[in-house]
Amino acid sequence: MRIFNKAGVTGEAGSKLAGTTTVTRKSEAKRTLLEPRAKETASRYEAPRLTVPVTPERDHIEGPMNAPLTLVEYGDYQCPYCGAAYPEVKKVQKNLGPELRFVFRNFPLTNIHEHAMTAAETAEAAAVQQKFWPMHDFLYEHQAGLGDPNIALSYAKKLGLDTQKFEREIAQHTYQKRIKEDFMSGVKSGVNGTPTFYVNGVRHDGEAVAKALIEALGNSKQ
C-alpha cells in the first residue's frame, strides 16, 4: 500500500486521515481530545488499543525495559501541539522515574507539515548512531528551525555523529520505510491526530498534559 509520495500522505491512508489528522489536536481543550461518536454511549465506548506491541528490538524506548508502565506517543516533529506536549512528557518522566518507559513512534502529517518527514528522517538517521533521544529532544526544542537542515547538522556534529553518513541517509530517504511502518501502525491503532498517546496499550483520550497522563497511568495499574 502506498502511503507517502513527494506531495505527502496519499492512497488509502491519506483518504482515511484527510478529515482527521489534518488538524492537530489542541492540548488546551477541556473536553477529551478524541471523543466517542454520538452513537456510542460512555458505557459502551472502549478506547482503541495499540495493535503493534512495543518491542525493544525496534522501538525507541526511554526508561527501563521492564518498567510496569508504558507511555507510547505517536508524534510529528513539526506539530505545534506535539511541541507543547513535549515538556509535559518530560514532567511525566520526572514524576514516575523508573516506573515508566516512554516510547516514541513517528506520525508525520506531511500534507500540512512540509518539514515533518525530513525531521523524522533526521531523528532516525541519528538513531542508527545511538543518538535518537538527544536528536529527538533537539528537534522539539528547535521546532522553529526545522526548515534549515544546517541547524540539525550542526547539532549532529556536536553529538559526534558521522555527519557524512548522517547527511547521506537523510538525502537518500533511507528510513522512510520505517517511518511509514510507524505511521501505518498508528492508523491501525486508531491514531487520528497528533499527538496521540497510549497508556499501557490503550489510547489516552484525555488532555495531553502531565497531570492527565500521570493520572491515566496510575489508573492503568488498578
| Percent of the chain scoring above 70 in pLDDT | 80
Element (H, E) at 103: strand 100-106
Query: Residue 222 has what pLDDT?
Result: 62
Least-confidence region, from 17-21, 65-69, 156-160, 199-203: 17-21
**What pLDDT band is residue 14 in, cutting at 50, 70 and 90?**
very low
Give me the pLDDT at residue 25, please: 52
Cα separation, 111 vs 165, in Å, equals 28
Q: pTM of the entire structure?
A: 0.83
- Position 43 scores a pLDDT of 66
The stretch 91-110 carries a mean pLDDT of 98
What is the reported pLDDT for 156? 98
Q: What sign for the dihedral angle of Cα 58, 205, 200, 215?
A: positive
pLDDT class for 4, splitting at 50, 70, 90?
A: very low
pLDDT for 221 equals 77
Question: What residues contact residue 38 under an 8 Å CB cut-off, 6+ apart?
Answer: none
Q: For residue 22, is pLDDT > 90?
A: no
Closest of 157, 179, 146, 152 to residue 60, by C-alpha: 179
Give the 3-state DSSP-derived string for 125-148, with helices as H, strands as E and coil as C: HHHCCCCHHHHHHHHHHCHHHCCC
Grid cell locating 175: 528510513
Please give the angle made by the CA atoms of 82, 83 and 89, to the nearest 5 degrees: 75
Q: Percentage of residues in the chain with pLDDT exceeding 90? A: 78
- Checking if the pLDDT of 56 tops 70, the result is yes
- Homologous superfamily (CATH) of 76-222 is Glutaredoxin (3.40.30.10)
129-150 residue pLDDT tens: 999 999 999 999 999 999 999 9
- The domain spans of the chain are 76-222
92, 71 contact by CB (below 8 A): yes
Mean pLDDT over 161-178 rounds to: 98
